[in-house]
Amino acid sequence: MSRLKSGEIRHVDLKALDLFGRWRHITLPAHEVDEETFRKGVPFDGSSFPGYRSIEESDMLMLPDPETAFVDPFSGAATLSLLTDIYEPNGTRYGRDPRGVAQRAAAYLRATGVADTAYFGPELEFFIFDGVRFELRANASSYAIDSAEAEWAAGEAGAMGQAFQAKAAYFATAPQDQSGPVRNAMADALEAAGIVVERHHHEVGGPGQGEMNIRFADLVGAADNVLKVKYIVRNVAHQHGRTATFMPKPVFGENGSGMHVHQSLFLNGANRFYDADGYAGLSALARAYIAGILSHGPALVALTNPTTNSYKRLVPGYEAPIYLAFSSANRSAAIRVPVGVRDAKGARIEFRTPDASCNPYLAFAAVVMAGLDGIERGLEPERLGFGPVEKDIYHLPAAEAAKLRQVPGSLAESLNALEEDHAFLLKGGVFSEDLIAVWIREKREEARRLAMRPTPEEFALYFTA
Ligand code: GLU
Ligand code: MG
């Protein structure tokens, strides 16, 4: 408030979230903001936010959360940005507000007595392209990606012999890595916004794939940070005349972009996932948490991988985790126990399946609820056939591979699984039947749009049928 009054900040930008994880914003001159703004909120039309209200009951309120303030470097003038919580006009919390779901999941975790804090460390992968075009017409549809770093650019006029072969760009250096300065600028902007960047690098994908790793935070804070990273990464790319995307599989034949999520549970400062004598330094409680995630895996991915494109990433051969199994180091397993951090402070699991097309509040809340369900039911991953699998799962003998369960092959399948299996999300009133029903309805509609449109691949296969 003192920064507002000092005149240092001239605009206050309130960011509110729709059900599917996209921010929208409204800006107030600083002189219009006072204590009342934080108490009573700012009205908006919920019917224009995807997944929220119908037109006849559309009035809603967004209340800024002062803890989330950051100076927005993309607004052209001294602008303070705040994330908001969504309320009904009568002052009750709106049940579909995703931030509210995450807050209730954190409260439910505390109420179980299992832990007081769930820590989440997300790793965000994304592509930085030079340009992207697409069109959708009744008689034609197309997309085209430009990237000077990509294999397909190697033979173009003016090429300098620096393009990557497909899937060959991991940790690459300049001049092949043409995105290094852009990633540095992204890291600077993130740090200026209060997010600690631990490292970033060129990822395996030749056409400008990068990864940004940020410091872990609690459930709600980590979800806030994911949206800040997406916003800042996209905007810095734009400022550099490039375009960044978190779409899970934008390039055929290349690695996709995931959002691996490191997790641990702490109680009174002690890591409940650590046991020096346990498998890979994990406690029985951590293994039950793993079993909860894997046994609810098919339903869970409807929230952690909620786009039709997500399932184009979850295929063999691209380091994507397609098996519902855990492993001490294997990248094709849904859950990996990272090596090198197996001590009382660092012991954790890495859930590799999610991608950044999710709404991180719903995704993280759902993952915690699945893990807690595993703990409450005392599940053991070994007895349920979830591993541990130490061999490269992509190359397992067919008989062994057949014993492992896979993640669903499509959004439609995962939505069916969520419809069948969501009681674990309703505990403690964390998710509601209403939210799940709307999610399934809207996401089925997306899948239907895709299913109705002929694609070039179908012309190749069937035009002469
Ligand atoms: N990009 C891969 C994925 O889709 C993961 C690569 C890695 O292990 O970092 O999840
Ligand atoms: Mg990676």
| Residues 283, 169 share a domain | yes
Largest CA-CA distance found in the chain, in angstroms, rounded = 72
Q: For residue range 358-414, what is the model confidence (pLDDT) as tens digits?
A: 999 999 999 999 999 999 999 999 999 998 988 777 777 888 888 899 999 999 999
Is residue 137 located within the same domain as residue 20?
no
| Residue 184 pLDDT level (bands cut at 50, 70, 90) | very high
Residues 89 and 176 in one domain: no
pTM for the full predicted model: 0.96
Cis peptide before 381 (omega within 30 of 0): no
> Are 403 and 381 within one domain?
yes
| CATH number of the domain to which 44 belongs | 3.10.20.70
In-domain check, residue 100: no
Same domain flag for 115 and 64:
no
Q: Mean pLDDT for the chain? A: 94
pLDDT (0 to 100) of residue 3: 64
99 in a structural domain: no
Element (H, E) at 83: strand 79-87
Q: What type of residue sits at position 58?
A: S
Tell me whether residue 286 is in a domain.
yes
Is residue 331 part of the annotated active site? The answer reads: yes
Work out the burial of residue 160: count CB atoms within 10 Å of its CB; fewer than 13 is exposed, 13-18 middle, 19 or more buried.
exposed
Q: Which residues are near ligand 1 (CB < 6 Å)?
A: 125, 255-256, 258, 313, 318-320, 331, 352
Q: Which atom of ligand 1 is found nearest the CA of 260?
A: 10
Of 52-66, 71-85, 232-246, 350-364, give the lowest mean pLDDT range. 52-66
Does residue 139 form part of some domain? yes
**CA triple 23-435-298, angle to 5 deg:** 95
> Which residue in the list 18, 224, 350, 355 is annotated as catalytic?
350
pLDDT at position 378, please? Answer: 97
Q: Say which CATH number the domain at 164 has.
A: 3.30.590.10
Whether residue 240 lies in the annotated active site: no
Residue 7 has pLDDT above 80, yes or no: no
Residue ending a domain, among 94, 128, 155, is 94
Kindly tell me if the per-residue pLDDT of 204 is higher than 90. yes
Same domain, 164 and 76: no
In this structure, the answer to whether residues 147 and 28 fall within a common structural domain is no
Residue 48: predicted pLDDT: 86
Confidence (pLDDT) at 110: 98
**pLDDT tens, 302-344?**
999 999 999 999 998 898 998 999 998 777 899 999 887 878 8
Q: Which of 327, 331, 336, 350 to mutate to test the pocket of ligand 1 (most atoms within 8 A of CB)?
A: 331
The more confident residue out of 7 and 440 is: 440
> Is 14 a domain residue?
yes
> For residue 340, is it within any domain?
yes
Q: What residue numbers bound the domain in which 330 lies?
A: 106-462
pLDDT band at 2 (very low <50, low <70, confident <90, very high): low
What is the pLDDT, as a whole number, of residue 5?
64
Residues 150 and 172 in one domain: yes
Domain check: are 128 and 234 in the same one? yes
Q: Tell me the C-alpha to C-alpha distance, in Å, between residue 242 and each of 8, 50, 253, 356.
A: 31, 28, 22, 19
Name the domain boundary from 29, 64, 94.
Answer: 94
Q: Strand runs (DSSP E) across 88-179, as ranges?
A: 117-129, 131-136, 141-146
Q: What is the predicted pLDDT for the residue at 1? A: 61
Residue 419 annotated in active site: no
C-alpha of residue 1 to centroid of ligand 2, in Å: 39
Residue 238 domain flag: yes
275 is catalytic: no
Listing DSSP states for 301-319 in one string gives HHHHS-STTHHHHSSTTSS
Cα 249 to middle of ligand 2, angstroms = 14
Domain assignment present for 101: no
Nearest CA to 311 out of 319, 50, 302 is that of: 302
For residue 230, is it left (φ>0), alpha (ψ between -120 and 50) or beta? alpha
Question: How many folded domains does the chain comprise?
Answer: 2
Mean pLDDT confidence for 261-268? 97
CA gap 335, 348 in Å, rounded: 10
Same domain, 247 and 150: yes
- Asked if residue 378 and residue 338 are part of one domain, the reply reads yes
State whether 86 and 49 are in the same domain: yes
